[in-house]
Structure 1
Amino acid sequence: MTNETTARRLFEPTTLGALELPNRMVMAPMTRNRATFEGVPLPLMAEYYGQRATAGLIVGEASTPSPFGFTYPEIAGLYDDEQVEGWRAVADAVHAGGGRLVLQIEHGGRIGHPDNNPGGHLPQAPSAVRLPGGIHTPTGHQEAPVPVEMTAADLERTRGEFVAAARNALRAGADGVEVHAANGYLLNQFLSSSTNRRTDAYGGSAANKIRFVVEVVEAVAAEVGAERTGLRISPWNTGNGIDVSDGDEVFPALLDAVSHLGLAYLHIARALPGEPLFGKLRGRWTGPLVANPELGEELPIPADGGLAKGVELLEAGADLIAFGRAFLANPDLVERYRTGAPLNPVREDRSMYGRGPEAYTDYPFLAS
């Protein structure tokens, strides 16, 4: 049973860095593949995000800072002017609805394929370790290529691309950015022994594994302001071939290394409140903590959209709760939770990753 007293905290206003939020419900980033192949957000994305502007904060879906960073076909980018203009329409729609938007910057690292990006680039990663299980491409499921191990020059270029993407996000009208170091993508790959087998200053010890992530976060915060910069991590997510066995050492070290920056927030994806590491991270992080409940990857999700698990996270020390698929299926999720109204179920088909409005902008609002 949900603790109603704790649940009411979701509707209290709060502050994240430079942002004043009307409630503590965050729309989690969810890639929906509605950009062009070149990474330009389509007009339908502006409608989708505008519908959900009552969230306390919207974290826009992962956007690549680089032609080398594309993961799957038709994801958004943040490295050229046309992409910026596409995101500007999204930001305008969210602001018109009274909302707040930060854009997530994600480089895929080894999660990519030459068929999935306009330049036909091989993916780049900390080490030349292939993604297990293959990858989706425009022509179907293919074996993932062996990524190119990043050189010192590649690391320097990629840091600069993250900085430029952050600058582009604010140029597009976003209220801030989220550096994505979670869920098996490039920055998370540096943090894991299964994907980082380097013997230089960026591999081996925990201090070395976190080095590139720290450098990126520091550079982004210096460019757009720490008060407009968030960081996302996923200490327990083993998806995409990530080994989390040394997480008890790596993630506290990472937080210790960036805590002095005064970031707007830390966002823990697929959070497990009962794990000792959650308490350790909460104790180390003195700023606002956004936590995303672990609901698994399968459908259906719980009928309450993860509300009960979100309340558990609030009781364990989180300040805000990020809901993903519940916001996908319920553009008015805040009002539904406020009034106790039933939720729309998430449709159990692949149209959520298609080009059209189906399972995207056509979920119904509560009857007025």
Structure 2
Amino acid sequence: MMDTQKKLLTPLITGALELPNRVVMAPMNRRRALNGVPGESAAVYFGQRAGAGLIITDNTAVAPNGIGYMGTPGIYNQAQIEGWKRATDEVHARGGRIFMQLVHAGRIGHYLNNEGQMPLIGPSAVTAEGLIRTAGEIHLPNSEPSEASAADVRRLIDEHIRGAINAIGAGFDGVEIHGAHGFLPEQFLHPHTNRRTDAYGGSIAARSRFLLEIVEGTVAAIGKERTGIRLSPFVKLNDLPDYTEELETQQYIVDALQEIGILYIHLSDQGPVGQGKIPETYIRDLRRRFDGLVMLAGGYSAETAEAALQAGLADLIAFGKPYIANPDLTERFRFGLPLAAGDPGTYYQGSDGGYIDYPVHDHTFVANTTADCR
């Protein structure tokens, strides 16, 4: 093992989780699910990467009107559950652990990508800027969302909870609620997209209610030890601007998550791609407020990941794009091997090419050479 990886490749053992290392495969929507059903290749793909301490799946839609991007997998019907069972079985057969990331895209997307061309929905009727890819490689503006009624809000919360139950039924070890990146829960948090005047809009507590009721319901359904959340404070994705109360809002949420007692908070930093940096001062403040595990994601290398762990900023580090082309990422870290480069043209679309055809390195040769030198 490389001297620099004194912590990254060591086990993490808590009362709720036993991981062989602290390397997490970050959630990435590879957009290859036909009708929302992950195919047989998904089982191969995740099985190839079972050496991660923890795998988190593609963001997976909890409802037919929350798909967002064409090819997004779902977890709201039996065919999808059965498709995911193949993936969890393969990962577990290889000794891995896997969580599902639950998402509702809300106002992000186009109705043509939703099942049955269902209209988009959001906390308020605020259309997102930007274009969305639809069938035939046609890029169209985001559709206008309808404003969720009181009954809609209750249904949307219940759909997240049902998604968590379905995920456990599909064999997942837990779920991660996607409260980040400008998707539906963050749309409720943000005053730009939440202009409601009822119990789910206005004050920080009211705007936070939607997300926290999802978390509370999920914990009640599957257990706090199986529940994580992804947040992206100060990150500007999907047309969300800065707002005055952002720090106070995020601190309110973290304090509530501490009280609920979930397993982990996963912070997604987009500083490396210029879309918002999470300050170290915020991370340290979060660690004082929250006793659970903290996971960081955002352009890490083995060296910077180790530094973050040694500095006490995190317990786990998630790697996204490096896992696309390096299914054996932990072993490459272990032996100090170069990382393969992926093909950006197949990151978020395509078939098996650029998905399950990246080779592993010959670690046996490296290990034997290392042993001979001792």
Q: Same fold (TM over 0.5)?
A: yes
C-alpha change, 1:97 and 1:252, in structure 2 (3 Å) is same
Counterpart check, 1:280 vs 2:285: yes
Q: CA–CA distance in 2 between the matches of 1:240 and 1:121? A: 20
Shift of 1:316: 4.5
The aligned length equals 353
Match of 2:169 in 1: 171
C-alpha change, 1:158 and 1:16, in structure 2 (3 Å) is farther
Counterpart check, 1:257 vs 2:256: yes
Measured on the aligned residues, the alpha-carbon RMSD in Å equals: 1.6
Greater Rg, structure 1 or structure 2?
A: 2
Give the fraction of aligned pairs with identical amino acids, expressed as a percent.
43
In the alignment, is the contact (CA less than 8 A) between 1:78 and 1:168 conserved in 2? yes
Shift of 1:135: 1.5
Deviation string 1:86-107 (CA, Å, 9 cap, x unpaired) is 0000001111111000101000
Match of 1:256, SS state, is helix
Q: CA–CA distance in 2 between the matches of 1:262 and 1:40? A: 32
Match of 1:119, SS state, is helix
Match of 1:247 in 2: 246
**Bigger shift: residues 165-174 or 132-141:** 132-141
In the alignment, is the contact (CA less than 8 A) between 1:17 and 1:264 conserved in 2? no
Counterpart check, 1:359 vs 2:354: yes
Alignment of 1:1-368 (within 5 A): 4-5=3-4, 7-15=5-13, 18-36=16-34, 38-139=35-136, 140-245=138-243, 246-270=245-269, 272=277, 274-293=279-298, 295=299, 306-314=301-309, 315-347=311-343, 349-367=344-362, 368=364
In the alignment, is the contact (CA less than 8 A) between 1:170 and 1:176 conserved in 2? yes
In the alignment, is the contact (CA less than 8 A) between 1:50 and 1:93 conserved in 2? yes
The amino acid that maps onto 1:105 is L
Shift of 1:274: 4.3
The amino acid that maps onto 1:31 is N
Q: CA–CA distance in 1 between the matches of 2:233 and 2:339? A: 29
Deviation string 1:1-48 (CA, Å, 9 cap, x unpaired) is xx955x321111113563211111110000001111x21011111100
Shift of 1:352: 2.0
In the alignment, is the contact (CA less than 8 A) between 1:101 and 1:176 conserved in 2? yes
Shift of 1:313: 2.8
In the alignment, is the contact (CA less than 8 A) between 2:283 and 2:313 conserved in 1? no
In the alignment, is the contact (CA less than 8 A) between 1:273 and 1:313 conserved in 2? no
Shift of 1:357: 1.6
The amino acid that maps onto 1:267 is H
In the alignment, is the contact (CA less than 8 A) between 1:273 and 1:312 conserved in 2? no
Q: CA–CA distance in 1 between the matches of 2:146 and 2:126? A: 9
Q: CA–CA distance in 1 between the matches of 2:279 and 2:150? A: 39
TM-score by length of 2: 0.91
Match of 1:210, SS state, is helix
C-alpha change, 1:12 and 1:70, in structure 2 (3 Å) is same
Q: Mind listing any 5+ residue stretches in structure 2 that lack a counterpart?
A: 271-276, 365-374
The amino acid that maps onto 1:189 is Q
The amino acid that maps onto 1:277 is Y
Deviation string 1:38-68 (CA, Å, 9 cap, x unpaired) is 2101111110000000000000111111111
Match of 1:173, SS state, is coil
The amino acid that maps onto 1:200 is D
Match of 1:309, SS state, is helix
Shift of 1:251: 0.7
Q: Mind listing any 5+ residue stretches in structure 1 that lack a counterpart?
A: 296-304
In the alignment, is the contact (CA less than 8 A) between 1:84 and 1:169 conserved in 2? yes
Q: CA–CA distance in 1 between the matches of 2:107 and 2:352? A: 30
Deviation string 1:224-255 (CA, Å, 9 cap, x unpaired) is 00000001100122010112433211111001
Q: CA–CA distance in 2 between the matches of 1:169 and 1:95? A: 15
In the alignment, is the contact (CA less than 8 A) between 1:110 and 1:185 conserved in 2? yes
In the alignment, is the contact (CA less than 8 A) between 1:54 and 1:332 conserved in 2? yes
The amino acid that maps onto 1:231 is I
In the alignment, is the contact (CA less than 8 A) between 2:102 and 2:178 conserved in 1? yes
Deviation string 1:101-153 (CA, Å, 9 cap, x unpaired) is 01010000001211102211111011111110121211311011110111110
